[in-house]
Amino acid sequence: WDMRTLLGIATFLGIIGVFSSFGILYIGTVVLKLDPLVLQSFIYLKLSVAGHLTVFVARTKGPFWSVKPAKALLFAVIITQLIATIITVYGILLPAMGWGLALLVWGYAFALFVVTDFAKVRLYRLLDHSGMKFKR
């Protein structure tokens, strides 16, 4: 394993995750002016959905579709995200936020997923030094 490359990719994915969380917080507070309790559900769903989508970005060097995920992983992610969405939409243990906001979060997370995956592939190419020979 090329630890420098892996740490570079992991750092990139972590930074994107943090900035995207602040982005959705900005949307919720400034743009949509959500009630703080609804904002809690809004942020929770973003963290849940985007976190699981990051697994699909991180698991391969190429585009996320280049290697088929294991059925168990796919099934687990689908079930947990359905549950997270239902919890936030209908207000089970968290304030209800409705389908409109849930779809906004899903759209935001999916758009970020596609852009992050594209950038990850480019970053792997930039960081991959396997074909280079260095002189000492």
Tell me if 52 sits within 8 A of 26, measured CB to CB: no
pLDDT (0 to 100) of residue 4 = 86
Tell me if 102 sits within 8 A of 45, measured CB to CB: yes
pLDDT means per 10 residues in the chain (136 residues)?
Answer: 87 96 98 98 98 95 94 97 98 96 98 97 85 56
pLDDT (0 to 100) of residue 136 = 57
Q: Which residues contact 5 (CB under 8 A, 6 or more apart)?
A: 124, 127, 128
Kindly write down the DSSP assignment for every residue of 80-127, as one continuous string: HHHHHHHHHHHTSSS---HHHHHHHHHHHHHHHHHHHHHHHHHHHHHH
Tell me if 57 sits within 8 A of 117, measured CB to CB: yes
Cβ atoms within 10 Å, residue 7 = 11
Q: Give pTM, 2 decimals.
A: 0.88
Q: Which helix (H) or strand (E) holds 76?
A: helix 71-90
Collapsing DSSP to helix, strand or coil, 40 comes out as: helix
Task: Report residue 118 as tokens.
Answer: 């594209």
pLDDT (0 to 100) of residue 1 = 72
